[in-house]
Structure 1
Amino acid sequence: MSSTSSNSIYGDAEVRRRRTLDAAISLLDEGGYSALTIRAVAKRAGTSTGLIYQYFVDKQDIFAALLSESQLEMADFVNSLPRDQGLTALLASMIPEFARHWARVGRLTTTWRDIEGMAGSERESMLELHASVAVYNAALIRALTEAAAAEGRSLLDDPALIHVVLSGLKGLADTIVNNIAKELSPEHLVNVSARALARAITA
């Protein structure tokens, strides 16, 4: 087989996998996790269930792949943010993007825990998911540390810090996505929250 043919086949496979994940995202948007079935994904993607099974064992695999992709995209985004404007500015830049990912799949993280119980933590897709979470968490801590240092501050030296930050980001994302604080503009909520979180995690 020529190199060109091989690349074409690989490219087609990546396109089909991408189409499958995009179809899954649209189903999650419309009906939540219960709407995510192999048959529904195949219909939405315009393909057969047999082709879906070439890339994913079941719907748990698809969902894990979406979560993993979201974590890696967030890690790339965090890595791209400037640190020289300080911790509050970093957090303010991060919150809207976190909310975007939360709206797409993050809001279903409780389902992720259910999936892990059903699928088993040794499943390849779950191992990849845990690895992507570790990549994101490391990128987040590194960015926060460097942004704090840029303004002469340091983060709290406590293993709970990453959980405090993630809990804060998730709560803010949920508030923004569901428009819970209707009396506030998103910009005001983001700015006040970024300042408060920056104070909470620095020594």
Structure 2
Amino acid sequence: MSLTTKWGDREARRRDILTAGAALLANQGYSALQMRDVAKGAGISPGTIYTYFSTKEALFAELYAERLNLLHNVIEPECATADDPVALFVLVATEYLDVYRIYGRELNIWSLLAGTDVTASSAHTEALTSAALKVLAVLHTSLDRMCSAGPEAERVDITSALMLLWATITGLADQFTGVRQHLHTHDWDAAAQFAATTLTRGIGLRP
């Protein structure tokens, strides 16, 4: 890595921090996300990292936002062409499983950020909120398109339907990324398929 990248380009240095943080999270989990270790991985001094992220939680929120943006980029093409809500649910739930395994299982960052100093965390909170809303928006558009293709009398409240579907996706992810997965006889694929089939029929997204 060049000295120009390390010391002359603030955005490149920020990218180094995020790359180092993401590697620690993926390999060792949230407990390993120590600012000193992230700084070492990024090739900067421990003091310098705090000029980019004031707290460990702020760094985590930014990393989570980036991961949700990646999720959005992966599912957006599928959402644009999907014609089966069951298949779409399974696909999105499966993609989200890996996101939750790293970013949702060990820490509820939403609750934590809500209790931190607003000024210090606002930019990172906004980035995370924006990324999450992008994911929900592309799903809303896809479900609305599929629903609009049917008879008007059978159309459902997409906003309410999406709320239930997303709550189920996150709930399934929670069940299957921790020790509670051993309580179930179904594997992930069977559970996701059953939830998708049952919910989409129950809320009127399919016959």
Same-fold status (TM-score > 0.5)? yes
1:71-123: CA deviations, max 9, x gaps? 22222223110534311111111111010111121334523311231132772
1:18 is matched with which residue? 15
1:118-141: CA deviations, max 9, x gaps? 132772221222222222221121
Instruction: Give 1:166 deviation, angstroms.
Output: 1.7
State the alpha-carbon separation in 1 of the partners of residues 84 and 149 from structure 2.
Answer: 6
Maintained 8 Å contact 2:65/2:132: yes
2:87 is matched with which residue? 89
* Residue pairs, 1:1-203, within 5 angstroms: 13-29=10-26, 32-82=29-79, 83-108=81-106, 110-120=108-118, 123-150=122-149, 156-157=156-157, 159-178=159-178, 180=181, 183-202=185-204
Q: Matched residue of 2:116: which SS? A: helix
Q: CA 1:156/1:16 → structure 2, altered by over 3 Å: closer, same or farther?
A: same
TM-score by length of structure 2 reads 0.76
Aligned-residue CA RMSD (Å): 3.2
Q: Matched residue of 2:136: which SS? A: helix
Structure 2 residue runs of 5 or longer lacking an equivalent are none
How many pairs does the alignment contain?
A: 197
Instruction: Give 1:15 deviation, angstroms.
Output: 4.3
Maintained 8 Å contact 1:85/1:150: no
Maintained 8 Å contact 1:87/1:198: yes
Whichever residue aligns with residue 94 of structure 1, its letter is: V
Whichever residue aligns with residue 66 of structure 1, its letter is: L
Maintained 8 Å contact 1:155/1:201: no
Maintained 8 Å contact 2:144/2:158: no
Whichever residue aligns with residue 91 of structure 1, its letter is: F
Instruction: Give 1:197 deviation, angstroms.
Output: 2.5
TM-score by length of structure 1 reads 0.77
Structure 1 residue runs of 5 or longer lacking an equivalent are 1-6
